[in-house]
Homo-oligomer: A and B are copies of this chain.
């Protein structure tokens, strides 16, 4: 249930891997520029460095390329995230570092993320679940880390709060990219990260609540 097969005519798996790599790279560049629908299969083939005939040796339909691209993006993001989260200590401090790390990663891949967000809906009813599943898995990574904090007594959240918190921070990571036309005019990335962390952890009413104590 984890990976949808995209059929290739070519048998040599190493070659399939290599050609699809070229294909995906070319396609991402193009999708970034003009989106999936305005990109032609021939352009993708050319960008990948081979002929249209060859392209179709490695996929069945144009949509397969989109799936491959989105799939690849998720894998890349998750890989990096997983790597980082592995070192997480289950403290709030550590969690903040991970979130900041994630925000930076997403900032770096903002164009890819944009493609994902705008084109994923073009995937067939067939492929969509696989993709959504990947996103759920990624949110799950954060949920785990937050749970650890809760278990360690560093945070006091129930199941539903954990989940929503994870979703929020996940979306905020993407926000930097998909609302760049607004955010990037006002904030530097580091500013954005700092401010978001503050809001995520303390909300807007912290000072009022705390009554006495100033903080930070």
Contacts and interface: CB of A to CB of B under 8 A. Distances in A.
Given A179-B171, A182-B132, A165 B202 contact: no
Contacts of A86: none
A205 B92 contact: yes
Interface stretch (A17-25, A72-80, A102-110, A207-215): A207-215
**For the side of the interface on A, what is the size category?**
35 or more
Contacts of A179: 167, 171
Contact of A182 (B139, B165, B195, B204): B139
A149 to B, nearest CB: 9
Copies in the complex: 4
A163 to B, nearest CB: 6
A89 interface: no
A191 B56 CA distance: 48
21 contacts: A37-B37, A118-B121, A132-B182, A136-B182, A155-B204, A160-B191, A163-B186, A164-B192, A164-B195, A168-B172, A168-B199, A171-B179, A198-B203, A199-B200, A201-B205, A202-B205, A202-B209, A203-B203, A206-B206, A213-B214, A215-B215
